[in-house]
Structure formats: structure tokens, C-alpha cells
Chains A and B, each alone.
Chain A
């Protein structure tokens, strides 16, 4: 069964460093998303991406964040200069042309020290 994969599973970084979180969506999916879950809080939407551009972004998704689909398979989230409050679990999701169901990856746990 096809699935969304994410790497790395865990990342520890120093405040101010850049991180890139990687996702491989399901191969025939067209819509891609990033969500995050800060420990003890709700899962919250960051950004949606379709046809090589951002469809929608939340208030959290400021200039420090960017997304890219550098080739036909990967979908990346870059945080330019990490802050302590960026520590969270980051989930990638994708869905097909009818946008009915989003399928999630296992997440990347990011810890900023």
C-alpha cells in the first residue's frame, strides 16, 4: 500500500540553524501539506501546496519558512533560522485530485536547543 514517508524521523539542531525536513508524498497525489504539533498542543496547519506554488499558508508560516518540490517526488519544508519555539512534530500529508482524504507521514520530531 502506498504511503507518505518523511526523513529524518528525529532532528536536533541549534537555535539559528537552518533545517530541511523532507517528505515523499504518495506518487499520484497532487496536493501537499505541512502540519505541526507542538508538544501538548493541537495539530495545526502550516501550508498547502499545489501545482508548484503555495495555495494557502497559516499565520505561523512566516518568512522563516519555505516549501519546495525540487523534483517529481520530494516535498521539503525549510526553516531558515530555527527558534526554540519551532520544536515540534512536523507532519507531511498529501491527497489526490478530489482532495477527499489526506494521508499523513510518520512525522519528523524537531528539537531546537
Chain B
């Protein structure tokens, strides 16, 4: 069965420093992978998606993620954190019946 593991429940960075949110997946095939962000009291917003085209995927707000099949990873990065990036981030896989499998989420804190 597919699963998604987000290795950190909380990540804290200073404004202007790089962000790394880690995600590993397990699947018998290369799934479609997504990162969603949830700001407080808001819905789930799509940041970016990987669907077997380019392995480096660029998303909104300067985020990007790299699909590495050999490591079964899909880590999310951003070169320079902004205060407005503080939110919960979900790594998500789509299974063969198109339903989404969520990781447990990583809460990103950005210190001024």
C-alpha cells in the first residue's frame, strides 16, 4: 500500500534562510506527488505537483521540490523564507484510484 512520511512535525527557520521540508513516499510505481499548504483557518492550497515530467518542479511563492526515485523522496525547498510562509505543509501522493494519501504534515515556523 502507498504511504507518505514527513520526517519532521515542526521546522523552525529564521526569515531569509533556506527552508527544507522532507518527504518520503513508498509505492510500487512512480506516483503523482503534491505539496499542499494550509494557512491558519484556511483550506488546502496546492503549492506544486510532480506527474512524471521534469523531476525538479517549481511551484508558487518560490517553492520547489525534487523527485528522486532512487531515494523515494520529494523534499520541498525554498531559498529564502518569508514570514508569510509560516503554515502547515502536507506532502501528498495520488494512488492508482486517484484518491490522495496525505503525510502527517510539517508545521513551518519562521522567526523574524
Contact = CB atoms under 8 A, between A and B. Distances in A.
Residue with the greatest number of chain A CB neighbours at <10 A, chosen from B36, B44, B46 = B44
A7 to B, nearest CB: 13
Interface string B18-60: 0000000000000010101000001111100101000000000
A104 interface: yes
B36 A55 contact: no
Interface residues of B, number: 20
Nearest to B99: A45
Interface of B: 32, 34, 36, 42-46, 49, 51, 90, 97-105
Interface of A: 4, 6, 31, 33, 35, 41-45, 48, 55-56, 91, 93, 95, 99-107
Given A35-B100, A43-B44, A104-B43, 17 more contacts: A33-B99, A35-B102, A43-B90, A43-B100, A43-B102, A45-B101, A48-B97, A55-B97, A56-B97, A56-B99, A95-B98, A99-B98, A100-B32, A100-B49, A101-B34, A102-B100, A104-B36
